[in-house]
Amino acid sequence: MTDSPLYRLPLDPQEQPVLERILTLRDQLSLLKQDRSTYVKSQDVIALYNKLIDQVEALNRLRADKRDEQNRLDSVLDDCFQLISLFFLTIGRNHEAPAVYSAVSTVKRLLDHLKEAGFYSPKDLDGIAQHIEEWETSIARSKDTHSPHLVTLLEARIALCQTTLKELRANLSNLNPQMLDTYQKLVSILRSLSACNTRSKFPAKDVKELESQLLAIQHELHEDRISHDGKSAEDAYAEKLSTLSLTEGGVRDGDVVVKALLARCMLWCEVIQEKKGKIDERFQDTYDKLVKLRNSLEQMNLTQAWSLRETDLYSYQRQLDRVDESRINGNFVDEQGRPADLHAQRTLLYLLRKSYAFIYQYIISSEPVSEALLPIYNQLLTLKRCLQEVKRNGGVDSPRELYPYSMKLNSIDNMKKDGAFRVGNDIPEGQGSVIALLAECFDLAYELRTEAEEKDEVKGTPPAEETNGVGSKD
């Protein structure tokens, strides 16, 4: 199991029994996560969650006069809440406070990394802001059903996210629409350059094409070619980092922000062409580890809807956390405590941020359906997309063309017993979502059938007999 960062042992002997019980709970959660012989059952998750809350309440009683205490117990407790949170997503209870815990933790890191990187798209912030609002609603709705200790913790973490989000928005507040468009292009180019910098084989041609785009923008802004006589490109780049600082000099004018980002793009392009994908050998192991994590998370994107169990994300989270929290004052350091050069620093930060972004995307893409019902739910999603595509392309010429869809929908509908989709004697979470999606598919099929019948009437063709029930008027 991937442990969280190490802290000193509890100083208060009274906390030791609590730590031991929480360690046991973490082991039980880990075993449940690894068990692929059956789907995760709600009752198993809720039982472990209630035991965890009991230990939180016991700990709070012990720390009545020392609320700021932080030791190993807290790190193990965080492990448990991260796992519980991902389990709530796995069983389809996405809109409850425990499910929010992992998402908020990931977003907090993402926002901190965006602030540290000093460049980001307004779309990044808008998407995060929207989900934070949804999580606030889930937490407010959970106040009467979940522990006030958990609710208070989540509210405090969201408040921190809102503060950082406000700072990030302020930095772009003086961009007019034209400058904003240019700024977003530069953000995209800089990210593309960073992606090129981490490929297994350095793509010199692609980098040159991106450089051409930068030169075109430079011409549009009537900027001169960046000169750094007497300085390396890395030194010049380091100086430019401060021009987008959120803490020094206040909010900058829009043209200053755009031109500073252009300068960074040009210099970074020069830096990576000099390095050609070679990183300082002192950080090769860290680089290889982050590349492997990034690639593994990226590959999940191909099969996420069909095979990802949200708890699978836990080990990735913890490995990334260990790397992130090993930094000293924001710097990656070698075994002797020496900081990385600028190229290694920015490259490793990019990989770290990209990996957390994948985890965030998978969390927010989680459907509010138990994994036991996901095969049915995913089939219905595919059917819905197909029917929508048929509708967008003018529908069908004959109701007979809908028979394959009709037969599949009816086969799924017939899987219900007493109005619910069951697994054995269990009724997994997410029934409402699956049944609503099934109804949408039936409605789409009925609309397409009706349109096809109207076309037949215009042509004078007798309507086809409906034998499968889809869109039946009986």
In a domain, 383, yes or no: yes
Could you tell me the CA-to-CA distances from 72 to 7, 11, 19, 63 in Å, in that order? Answer: 5, 10, 8, 14
Long-range contacts of 200-206 (CB under 8 A, 24+ apart): 201/277, 202/272, 202/276, 202/277, 204/273, 204/276
Question: Does the residue 451 lie in any domain?
Answer: yes
**Residue 467 covered by a domain:** no
Q: Is residue 12 part of a domain?
A: no
Specify if 301 maps to a domain: no
User: What is the rounded distance in angstroms from the CA atom of residue 282 to the CA atom of residue 247?
Assistant: 31
**Contacts of residue 9, Cβ cutoff 8 Å, sequence gap at least 6:** 71, 72
The predicted model scores a pTM of 0.85
Reference 191, options 119, 253, 85, 288; nearest CA is: 119
Q: Is residue 48, in this structure, part of any structural domain at all? A: no
| Domain that includes residue 407, residue range | 374-459
User: Structurally, how many domains does the chain consist of?
Assistant: 2
Q: Is residue 449 part of a domain?
A: yes
Identify whether 14 is part of a domain. Answer: no
**Along the 474 residues of the chain, how does pLDDT read in single tens digits?**
444 444 555 567 888 899 999 999 999 999 999 998 888 999 999 999 999 999 998 988 888 777 666 788 888 999 999 999 999 999 999 999 999 999 999 999 999 999 988 889 999 999 999 999 999 999 999 998 999 889 988 999 999 999 999 999 988 888 888 899 999 999 999 999 999 999 999 999 999 999 999 999 998 988 776 666 667 777 777 666 655 454 444 556 778 888 888 888 988 998 999 999 899 999 999 999 999 999 999 988 776 555 678 899 999 999 999 999 999 988 999 999 999 998 999 999 999 999 999 999 999 988 889 988 988 999 999 999 999 999 999 888 888 899 999 999 999 999 999 899 998 888 999 999 999 999 999 999 999 999 988 877 766 655 555 444 454 433
